[in-house]
Copies of this chain bind each other. A is one copy, B any other.
Amino acid sequence: MANEIKELMHEIDAFTQERDWDQFHNPKDLALALSIEAAELLEVYLWKQPEDAKKEKVKEELADVFNYALLIASKYDFDVAEIVRAKLARNAEKYPVEKAKGVATKYNEL
């Protein structure tokens, strides 16, 4: 498939349109929904060691995160692969290998 991500975005958009949910899906509320799903993913790890979180729950909550992230991308007609690669390129400048190697410091403190 030439365009796996776009295909996925179409399927998610179709799901929304069939239910007439587009009226609720302004980008601000979608960003709220994304934040809420990210917190539900966080909850899978609450009071636990990282390795004790249940994989099945992680999978489900992470799917919800992707769902809303893709809906927002679709709203703005973003090419996901392109914006992620553009950000990686910017991060490569902010965190050059020779400075950032093995250091978990925020770039403005490097």
Categorize the interface residue count of chain A: 35 or more
B69–A62 contact, CB under 8 A? yes
Shortest Cβ gap from A83 to chain B (Å): 4
> This chain: how many copies in the complex?
4
A58–B32 contact, CB under 8 A? no
Shortest Cβ gap from A74 to chain B (Å): 11
A35–B28 contact, CB under 8 A? no
Residues of A within 8 A of B (CB): 1-5, 8, 11-12, 15, 18-21, 23-24, 26-29, 31-51, 53, 55, 58-60, 62-67, 69-70, 72-73, 76, 78, 80-81, 83-88, 91-92, 95, 97, 100-102, 104
What are 9 A-to-B residue pairs whose CB atoms are below 8 Å? A15-B91, A27-B50, A27-B51, A28-B53, A31-B38, A34-B65, A35-B41, A62-B78, A62-B83
